[in-house]
Amino acid sequence: AQSVTQLGSHVSVSEGALVLLRCNYSSSVPPYLFWYVQYPNQGLQLLLKYTSAATLVKGINGFEAEFKKSETSFHLTKPSAHMSDAAEYFCAVTIIQGAQKLVFGQGTRLTINP
Amino acid sequence: NAGVTQTPKFQVLKTGQSMTLQCAQDMNHNSMYWYRQDPGMGLRLIYYSASEGTTDKGEVPNGYNVSRLNKREFSLRLESAAPSQTSVYFCASSMSQGSYGYTFGSGTRLTVV
């Protein structure tokens, strides 16, 4: 079965600094990988997804993630943090066999310091 | 607006009461899902419906039942609510297979006292 581990339940960066949110996955077959963002009191919004095409994936709001099979990682980055990036971020994995069931990581809460 | 609609948005129940959470999508998606979100635990799958007429247990199904009423609607029922079911519940939908990811509703915040 597939699983996801997000390293760090809380990450704090200064405005303008690099954002790096870590995600490692486990899957016995080639995975599809996703990053979602959740703003306070809202549902989850898709940031970006990896679907076995380009390993560097660009998403909304300046975020991107790189799929590294050798490291089983899919870390999320943004070169320059903005106050509006403060939210909770979830990494998720699925395999395309049978019903498409997303398995989520525990989430990382990102705080931006002025 | 197209998307996933959940009702109600907030609910307080007494222990032992029952209730049904409603979910409807208008994107012609085949698959629908119910998740619960608890602090530090991410989202955990309760039940899912891969297609109309089918339902299956997820990771944490105990204490819940579901009904896939038609292609658009997927309800979650708590027959006898317990404080451990205090959580935020999210409904989601997706195409049956593929790389599309999910579309989520805005959630139902349930408190059981």
Q: Give buried/exposed letters for A80-108 (b at 16+ CB in 10 A, else e).
A: ebeeebbbbbbbbbbbeeebbbbbbbbbb
The pLDDT-based confidence of A96 (bands split at 50, 70, 90) is low
Contacts of B43 in chain A (CB under 8 A): 44, 90, 104
- Nearest by CB to residue A43, choosing from B40, B56, B107, is B107
Task: Tell me the two tokens of residue A28.
Answer: 């016995």
Token pair for B32: 């629908």
Position A52 scores a pLDDT of 78
| Strand bridging mode B10-13 / B108-112 | parallel
> Which of A22, A31, A38 lies closest to A3 in space, CA to CA?
A31
Query: Does the CB of A105 have a partner CB in chain B at under 8 Å?
Result: yes
Chains A–B, number of C-beta pairs less than 8 Å apart: 64
CA atoms of A98 and A95, how far apart (whole Å) = 8
Q: Are B21 and B76 in contact (CB under 8 A)?
A: yes
pLDDT for the residue numbered A97: 62
Q: How confident is the model at residue B63 (pLDDT cuts 50, 70, 90)?
A: very high
Q: Is B50 left (phi over 0), alpha (psi -120 to 50) or beta?
A: alpha
Q: Do B107 and A42 touch (CB under 8 A)?
A: yes
At A94 the pLDDT is 83
Helix (H) or strand (E) holding A90: strand A87-94
Nearest to A101 among B41, B45, B107 (CB): B45
Cross-chain CB nearest to A100 (options B43, B94, B106): B94
Chain A residues whose beta carbon lies within 8 Å of the beta carbon of residue B101? 34, 46, 49, 92, 102
pLDDT at A98 over 70: no
Mean pLDDT of chain A, nearest integer = 91
| Residue A64, number of CB atoms within 10 A of its CB | 16
Percentage of chain A lying above the pLDDT 90 cut? 72
* Contact check, Cβ <8 Å, A104/B40: no
